[in-house]
Chains A and B, each alone.
Chain A
């Protein structure tokens, strides 16, 4: 097969085949067990609901709120996480001081903080932003520390030989050499951050995709629940792909 034809198969047909399998399984399940729409609506019913949803302002406001909370928290978490990770990687005494705190806090999953954030910040966006930042922060701290420690020692010697001071060495050599590893960590962190936003909204929020879904669940509009879940998945995948594309654009040197 010729080049463009193969691209169509790889980029469009194969992914569509995967989605079709999932939809077929879904339809088969509800036909087999004769489930009522309130338990499991058909893919077609969900698609119709989604088509209606995307025409409402409220839906886009919910998506916007969730994305806004995510982006703010994500940026804060990545910047602070990389900064602390770099310090820990560069400065042995600081690493010794910070490691116990970091190691024990990072196993306290973000969700364990949800009750406290609601207590402290209510249902406002501040709690969600902090939660995302928290989730992302620890992923970035740990991977930055590790990535900086793994930088080829010759590169450090070369940097010193060329006249770089320790700050410049950390910034221009260590961080740059660690960047590809940081990019993949940032992508993994995005998934965790996005999950954290939605989870926090499920429990207590005044707007957002999570709230939209819990509201729909209480009024038993199951097709909105599932439609919302699909939107969460699509937005998450989109965010992850965007971060992947950004890091490729910045980091590739081939």
Chain B
């Protein structure tokens, strides 16, 4: 997400500006969420989940979405993945509306890892490559590579029920990354790992992103994580959620020992309704 974009309240203004550009390539690798509303029917009455959400992620940038639990962050990911259809508004990828169903540009790691319990860890990572047309040998080789990267080299032949929650999530991440997606969607991928492993995984994950530079939409509960990984933080309001604020993150802000980091942390937390000094 570019800093210039942050100043413009997203939505119509951005949409009009882009409409003037005629070359489709300009939008390659760009994810636009444009005035999206989403409601679903629960127990016979409609529940508003997203209420006018707009923002944009530039190609190769990482946007971290934070907000109160249950505010619709996962719904937003489902929409970006084409697994759900917005009630109104549009999501655009490469300048075209996100298709419902299969999207070959996409890789996604889910909150519940959703591993196929009847497949070994290796097969779980390889199956996506197989359905996308790679040969059995190539799929296996790539799966092994990515499992090495997430530190599961010794568990390739294990089955999901033999893994801890954190390990299963790492398989889910490896599965998404192995697809070499141009758009990567992550739903609290490090939620089930302990604090220390989480920091390590964040570092490794950053390195992995440098490989392909995908556009990333990253949902998290963890503000320090959002600062560590994001180029911008999209702060959501309570449900029905809209974008409360988009906070840009620069390189300096990521140094945990710096005052800039503390300021960014305080700023984001304040948006979420947490004051920075706890009074006695």
Contacts and interface: CB of A to CB of B under 8 A. Distances in A.
Interface of A: 152, 154-155, 157-158, 160-165, 168, 173, 176-177, 179, 251, 253-254
In the A-B complex, the 9 residue pairs with the smallest Cβ-Cβ separation, listed nearest first, are A162-B128, A154-B114, A158-B114, A163-B131, A161-B108, A253-B118, A163-B132, A154-B112, A163-B102
Contact of A162 (B117, B131, B161): B131
Contacts of A173: 116
A187 to B, nearest CB: 19
A160 B110 contact: no
Nearest to B115: A158
Interface centre among A161, A168, A179 (most CB of B within 10 A): A161
B118 A163 contact: no
Interface of B: 78, 81, 83, 101-104, 106-108, 110, 112, 114, 116-119, 127-128, 131-132, 159, 161, 175, 179
25 contacts: A152-B114, A154-B110, A154-B112, A157-B78, A157-B110, A158-B114, A158-B116, A160-B83, A160-B102, A161-B83, A161-B108, A161-B128, A162-B127, A162-B128, A162-B131, A162-B179, A163-B131, A168-B131, A173-B116, A176-B118, A177-B116, A253-B117, A253-B118, A253-B159, A254-B159
A234 to B, nearest CB: 33
Contacts of B108: 161
A192 B101 CA distance: 41
Contacts of B131: 162-164, 168
Given A176-B118, A253-B118, A253-B159, A161 B81 contact: yes
A254 B158 CA distance: 9
Given A157-B83, A254-B161, A163 B128 contact: yes
A27 to B, nearest CB: 49
B112 to A, nearest CB: 5
B134 to A, nearest CB: 11
Given A161-B81, A161-B128, A253-B159, 17 more contacts: A155-B114, A157-B81, A158-B116, A160-B101, A160-B102, A161-B83, A162-B127, A162-B128, A162-B175, A162-B179, A164-B102, A164-B131, A168-B131, A176-B116, A251-B118, A253-B118, A253-B161
A176 B127 CA distance: 14
A152 B159 CA distance: 17
B130 to A, nearest CB: 9
Nearest to B181: A161
